[in-house]
Amino acid sequence: MNDSMIIGQYVPGQSLVHRMDPRMKMTIIFFFVIVVFFANSFGSYGLLTLFAFVSVAITRIPLSFILKGLKPVWFLILFTFLLHVFFTRQGDVLFEIFSFPVYEEAIEQGVKISLRFFLLILLTSLLTLTTTPISITDAIESMFHPLKKVKFPVHELALMMSISLRFIPTLMQETEKISKAQASRGVDFRSGPIKERVKAIVPLLVPLFVSAFKRAEDLAMAMEARGYQGGEGRTKLRELTLTKEDIAALVLFVVVMVGVFILRT
């Protein structure tokens, strides 16, 4: 597996954030994403940043691990920053780089927008870092439940989601195994002309497809053997219940939201 990618990875733990009801976590993050776009002053940004970092601290996942894991995103954030620095032309000229004027507003804009971007990614990755894929699908199924009234296949959708999530690590492992086997037979995935490298994917993809189809067949068979017949009348092993902690987190978040609206200019 790619060591530096943590998006979508779950880090087991017992913290408050880990224990929270996934529905509550998703609701909070949903509104956080909206509120981030309302922030416009340093005060409001500061409050949101504080909220994000306190949340990270509560999870007890080392911040350095998360920051390192977001490596692929750093480039995007930097790019956004530079774009704003060079193309905003308001306020006083602060200094010049290679005779290119950099304005005061530009720096401010750059910092704000890239911070906004960073906060969005930080908090959303916190969701997947502290919530198992299964809880996420459970939460989605439960939150979309009302749509059943309009014949929306909520259960089937949730099942499809959990099956695909379940098989991501399996397929990743499989990919790694097969690519190692082919590398041992002299395939070079890492260097050489592009044309050769594209061709090198075939020995990887064919076995992967073969095994994916085989797995799908086995799974269907196993489900049928255990009497699966859709969501009708099916009960849950893990019932989702809101606890006092969830309510407390919600209250805290509402306070932060109100704070942001007071502090924005």
Partner 1 sequence: MQISFKNVSYIYQPKTPFEYKALQDLSFTIPSGSFVAVIGHTGSGKSTLLQHLNGLLAPTHGEVEIGDYKIQADEKNKQLKSLREQVGVVFQYPEHQLFEETVYKDIAFGPTNFGVEKDEIDDRVERTIDSVGLSSDMLERSPFDLSGGQMRRVAIAGVLAMEPSVLVLDEPTAGLDPRGQREMMDMFYQLHRDQQLTTVLVTHSMEDALAYADYVLVMDQGQLYMEGEPLEVFHQKEALNDVGLDVPEIIEFITKFEQKFDTSMQYTNQPLSQFAEQLKNKLKGGHHDE
Count of residues making up the chain = 265
CA distance 239 to 217: 30
Query: Least distance from C-beta 22 to partner 1, angstroms?
Result: 21
Largest CA distance in the chain: 73
CB closer to partner 1 out of 160 and 205: 205
Name the minimum Å distance from CB 137 to partner 1.
23
Stretch that binds partner 1, among 144-152, 183-191, 225-233, 246-254 (CB under 8 A): 183-191
Enumerate residues 6+ apart whose C-beta is below 8 A from 104: 90, 91, 92, 93, 94
Note whether 211 binds partner 1 by CB under 8 A. yes
Q: How far is the CB of 202 from partner 1 (least distance, A)?
A: 7
CA distance from start to end of the chain: 45
* H or E, element range at 116: helix 104-130
Residues between 107 and 146 that touch partner 1 (CB under 8 A): none
Which ranges in 42-103 belong to alpha helices (H)?
Answer: 42-59, 63-69, 71-87
- Establish if 195 lies at the interface with partner 1 (CB under 8 A): no
Using CB under 8 A as the binding rule, the residues of this chain from 24 to 63 that contact partner 1 are 61-62
Classify the phi-psi angles of 186: left when phi > 0, otherwise alpha if psi is within -120 to 50, otherwise beta. left
Residue count at the site for partner 1 (CB under 8 A)?
24
Under rule CB under 8 A, which residues in 60-99 are in contact with partner 1?
Answer: 61-62, 65, 68
CB closer to partner 1, 59 vs 88 = 59
What does the binding site for partner 1 look like in residue numbers (CB under 8 A)? 1, 3, 11, 61-62, 65, 68, 177-178, 180-188, 202-203, 206-207, 210-211
